[in-house]
Amino acid sequence: MRREKTTVMSALIAAALPVSAQNRFPKPDFESGYRYPDLHYEVPNEALWSAVDIILLAGMMLVVAWATLKRRRRAPVLIVSVVSALYFGFFRSGCVCSIGSVQNLVLAMVDSSYVMPLAVFLFFILPIVFTFLFGRVFCSGVCPLGALQEIVNIRNYRLSKAVSAVLGIIPWVYLAFALLYAATRSSFIICRFDPFIGIFRMGGDVGMIVFGGLLLLAAVFTGRPFCRFLCPYGALLSLFSRVSLRNMSITKECINCDLCLNACPVDAIRPPFENRVKESRMDGVRRLLAYFVMLPVAVAAGAFGMKALSPSLAGANKDVRLYEQVMRNEAHPQNIQPVDVEVFFAQGGTIEELSERRAEVGRQFDAYSAIAGGAIGLVVGLTLIGLSVKRTRKTYEIDGAACINCGRCFAYCPQNKLNTTT
């Protein structure tokens, strides 16, 4: 009986192991001629699951495009949001993620030894293609992070235009740092600091889970705080959405009832200015000229500032950290060496070789930090210019760059109801 219990327990443990697990330690090499029994268990086809992911990704974006551009209905978008949160979020554990795929692309561009998986590339490029064609249909509810925020949102407290513009710079800064650390082979910070991955996987870093919970709490009262003020991939999609071939419209004949403005959760509807007091034309021209003159200054200041910070930023690279550990150990030898230092010397590493690697990383950080800083300066300058531009509108219009195709405005527009019922 005891032997049978042991056999059953062994079988249960073997079944509980992940299908992709590998032996952490080699099997002992018996000299007695003992032969290990063959283990047979079904291994799921990851290529099949990747194909399912891609098909669902494209299919759900098509559904959103059809619902928002053709049918002007929000219900299909909400259904897609629920499906995405359940499948891409909880079932697939938030990976593969289009948001983090931009890091894989940059790494593949700078490191010839890294081959970007096809599924990851498709997750990166398909939302961009669909955004160029139909607007930000990926952000509406196909992205599991946006879907989760969409599901919990019940109120929309509006932020001032100035506050939203300042917070809107953060995703670009986040994107610049993400590309910097990916290009220098230091870290995938988008994946590391994903606020919802712990919620989807129901475990992980406590701090990030708390942060994700706070973002969801904020999403109850204001529309998509992560998508608007943190998501680096959303910032990238906003560029393609500006030149989208077909952006969403609320209705064909606007009557300026103001209902859609209050319904939009992401402040993507621009009101008319024709009845507002305007400044003189010359004052506006002077201000714009001043901002355009300051734009190169902002770019140069950003590049210089980030390059000055590059030695500190390089501390995130593993080779730089190892070099610092080795030099501290050389300066103050200890009986028990840090594990990384011990492994480095055990593998035959030399200080000269490590110093060369550290110097190469430093040169990369100098170059890429300057580029990232210049890009941040450019975003700040263009944001100021965008805030100063005043364009006369006769009706309410959708800002294609900010609109996430959620379809909330459809239900509030009386003209849209009239058009869809006739």
- Express each pLDDT in 49-96 by its tens digit: 999 999 999 999 999 999 999 888 899 999 999 999 999 999 998 887
Same domain, residue pair 136 and 156: yes
3-state secondary structure of 263: helix
For residue 247, being part of any structural domain is answered with: yes
pLDDT at 5: 43
pLDDT at 85: 95
Same domain, residue pair 237 and 306: no
Burial class (CB in 10 A: 0-12, 13-18, 19+), 295: middle
Same domain, residue pair 239 and 333: no
Same domain, residue pair 252 and 314: no
pLDDT at 321: 92
C-alpha 178/C-alpha 194 separation (Å) is 12
Nearest C-alpha neighbor of 144 from the set 209, 178, 99 = 99
User: Where is the domain boundary, 270, 296, 325?
Assistant: 270
For residue 276, being part of any structural domain is answered with: no
Mean pLDDT in residue range 344-358:
90
DSSP 35: -
pLDDT at 58: 97
- The residue with greater pLDDT, 153 or 257, is 153
Burial class (CB in 10 A: 0-12, 13-18, 19+), 87: middle
Q: Reply yes or no on whether the pLDDT at 146 is more than 90.
A: yes
pLDDT at 57: 96
Asked whether the whole model's pTM tops 0.75, one would answer: yes
For residue 412, being part of any structural domain is answered with: no
pLDDT at 234: 95
For residue 14, being part of any structural domain is answered with: no
Place of tokens 């709490």: 217
For residue 369, being part of any structural domain is answered with: yes
Same domain, residue pair 61 and 210: yes
For residue 394, being part of any structural domain is answered with: no
Same domain, residue pair 144 and 247: yes
pLDDT at 417: 64
Structural domains counted in the chain: 2
Which residue pairs, CB below 8 angstroms and at least 24 apart, start in 84-89?
84/60, 84/141, 84/142, 84/143, 84/144, 84/147, 85/144, 85/147, 85/148, 85/151, 87/56, 87/144, 88/53, 88/56, 88/57, 88/143, 88/144, 88/147, 89/144, 89/145, 89/147, 89/148, 89/196, 89/200
Same domain, residue pair 51 and 152: yes
Q: In whole numbers, what is the pLDDT of the chain averaged over residues?
A: 85
Same domain, residue pair 266 and 300: no
Q: Residue 138 belongs to what domain range? A: 47-270
Same domain, residue pair 109 and 226: yes
397 sits in which H/E element: strand 397-398
Mean pLDDT in residue range 5-27:
44
For residue 28, being part of any structural domain is answered with: no
pLDDT at 22: 43
For residue 396, being part of any structural domain is answered with: no
Same domain, residue pair 214 and 310: no
pLDDT at 274: 53
Same domain, residue pair 307 and 214: no
Same domain, residue pair 74 and 125: yes
